């Protein structure tokens, strides 16, 4: 990562240390059952793989996984943590170099929290449709709108009152408490209505919409997680 901006490196390194703890635990807890029901085995893309946390997760479940990202520093970190893994830099907005109808699953964890504009989201889901085999599956894990107006084990958001009045397409801010980098993170709000419009326009049927809630028996000091779902998991099938 020689020559990259120090602050960019600092944030990338900080994110690479994150694990499946607290509120993030809920994001991944139910995925094995969802994959088993809708997309067991086969070839997978981890879209927006970052430092490879979710790529390694998919591999542990038996998927032959390709992690893709537009960030060179994140791909470098992924390769450091998983030297035998398969990682690829892609251009912004396209899955360049990936063959048509060649994957069984496209998984995206939090990536669409940061993809600006409906047109770009639609373009990316069109790319997913292109590379999926007939009947292939997309699992799109995103932040629920409720994430940005409540506090959580892993996030502070109520310090940003402008989040309360944000509409789809507006910037919403969080502070991630699970890292040592507590600078605000900017996301772009996308509502359930808009996600469903994106899916309909790109040829996907919704198989499941899963909103994971925490259990009191789980070993975390839950804040709002037992009554409000911080994440939404959309399971889609190509037509």
Q: How many Å separate Cα 111 from the centre of its chain?
A: 4
183 vs 44: CA distance, rounded Å: 32
91 vs 73: CA distance, rounded Å: 14
Reply yes or no on whether the pLDDT at 13 is more than 60. Answer: no
Q: What is the mean pLDDT of residues 150-172?
A: 97
Instruction: Give the per-residue pLDDT at 3.
Output: 36
Instruction: Give the per-residue pLDDT at 1.
Output: 31
Reply yes or no on whether the pLDDT at 217 is more than 80. Answer: yes
161 vs 227: CA distance, rounded Å: 21
Reply yes or no on whether the pLDDT at 12 is more than 60. Answer: no
Instruction: Give the per-residue pLDDT at 179.
Output: 81
Alpha helices per DSSP H over 72-189: 72-81, 118-131
DSSP letter at 39? -
Instruction: Give the per-residue pLDDT at 98.
Output: 96
Q: What is the mean pLDDT of residues 19-30?
A: 92
Q: How far is CA 123 from CA 9, 115, 171, 199, in A?
A: 29, 11, 20, 11
Reply yes or no on whether the pLDDT at 116 is more than 70. Answer: yes
Instruction: Give the per-residue pLDDT at 49.
Output: 96
Reply yes or no on whether the pLDDT at 197 is more than 60. Answer: yes
Reply yes or no on whether the pLDDT at 85 is more than 90. Answer: yes
Instruction: Give the per-residue pLDDT at 168.
Output: 95
Sheet harboring 86-89: ordered strands across? Answer: 86-89, 64-69, 43-47, 103-109, 132-143, 231-238, 204-210
Instruction: Give the per-residue pLDDT at 5.
Output: 43
Which structural domains are found in the chain, ordered by start?
Answer: 23-228 (3.40.50.150)
70 vs 95: CA distance, rounded Å: 10
In the chain, pLDDT over 70 holds for what percent of residues? 92
Instruction: Give the per-residue pLDDT at 181.
Output: 83
């Amino acid at each position: 990562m020689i020559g990259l901006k120090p602050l960019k490196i600092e944030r990338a390194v900080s994110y690479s240390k994150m694990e499946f703890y607290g509120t993030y635990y809920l994001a991944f807890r139910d995925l094995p059952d969802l994959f088993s029901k809708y997309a067991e085995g086969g070839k997978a893309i981890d879209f927006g793989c970052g430092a490879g946390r979710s790529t390694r997760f998919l591999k542990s479940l038996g998927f032959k996984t390709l992690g893709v990202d537009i960030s060179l520093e994140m791909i470098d970190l992924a390769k450091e943590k998983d030297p035998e893994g398969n990682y690829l830099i892609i251009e912004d907005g396209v899955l360049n170099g990936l063959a048509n109808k060649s994957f069984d699953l496209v998984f995206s964890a939090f990536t669409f929290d940061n993809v600006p504009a409906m047109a770009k989201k639609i373009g990316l889901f069109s790319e997913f449709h292109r590379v999926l085999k007939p009947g292939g599956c997309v699992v799109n894990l995103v932040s629920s709108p409720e994430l940005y107006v409540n506090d959580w084990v892993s996030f502070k958001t109520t310090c940003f009152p402008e989040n309360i009045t944000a509409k789809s397409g507006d910037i919403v801010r969080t502070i991630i408490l699970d890292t040592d980098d507590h600078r605000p993170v900017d996301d772009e709000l996308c509502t359930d209505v808009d996600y469903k419009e994106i899916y309909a326009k790109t040829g996907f049927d919704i198989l499941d919409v899963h909103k994971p809630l925490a259990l009191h028996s789980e070993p975390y000091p839950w804040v709002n997680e037992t009554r409000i779902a911080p994440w939404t998991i959309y399971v889609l099938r190509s037509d």
